[in-house]
Amino acid sequence: MGTLSINWNIGFPDWKEVFYLPLLSALFPPLAVLRLNKMITESGGKIFASNGKSADFEATVEKCREAGGSIATPRSPGENDAILYFVKYFNTYAYLGIKQSLIPGKFQLLNGAQPSYTNWYSNEPSGKGEEECVEMYTDGTWNDKKCNKNHLIVCQF
Ligand SMILES: [Ca+2]
């Protein structure tokens, strides 16, 4: 085995490739190149990746799960920036792993936890129950939005 590459047409690398990424990218030039090209970003030990494709919220959650990760969920300014990199690169908003709770206008992580970090655009969230998902704008701020838009798939591992 001399080379190792990720087939972005099929999906994301599986968790083993991601887990051993630092080692692998030292050993296998293609991964190092991938990293150099910033198709993968990191913050605080968390890895974020995008395949440049778009999907609605539910499909994004599913694609990320299939890839062995989960939909990107920023918990700090650094993680927000790591996701923002892709949003800017592909110039496409991305859904985040944050959703409206049972209380209209109140948002929570997909596991039900309260977000410890938020980056709402001014006067957002504004949906008053009509906008259950959260999208990231190209300046990194957040907006509550309906879940059926075609947005950039960004996953975390
Ligand atoms: Ca809104």
At 123-157, the pLDDT tens digits run: 999 999 999 999 999 999 999 999 999 999 999 99
Question: Domains in the chain, start-ordered, CATH in brackets?
Answer: 15-156 (3.10.100.10)
Where residue 96 falls among pLDDT bands split at 50, 70, 90? Answer: very high
Distance from residue 96's CA to the centre of ligand 1 (Å) = 14
Does residue 119 carry a pLDDT above 50?
yes
Query: Which amino acid, one-letter code, is at 135?
Result: E
Q: What is the mean predicted confidence (pLDDT) over 50-75?
A: 94
Q: Kindly report the average pLDDT of the chain as a whole number.
A: 85
Average pLDDT over residues 4-30: 53
User: Ligand 1 centre from 132 Cα, in Å?
Assistant: 9
Taking the centre of ligand 1 as the mean of its atom positions, its distance from the CA of residue 119, in whole angstroms, is 13
Mean pLDDT of 55-63: 97
| Cα angle for residues 39, 44, 48 (degrees, 5° grid) | 25
What phi and psi, each to the nearest 5 degrees, are found at residue 19? -60, -40
Q: How far is the CA of 111 from the centre of ligand 1 (A)?
A: 22
DSSP 120: B
| Residue 95 pLDDT level (bands cut at 50, 70, 90) | very high
DSSP-derived secondary structure for 20-78: THHHHHHH-HHHHHHHHTTSEEEETTEEEEEEEEEE-HHHHHHHHHHTTSEE----SHH
In this prediction, residue 76 carries a pLDDT of: 97
d(CA 153, CA 51): 7
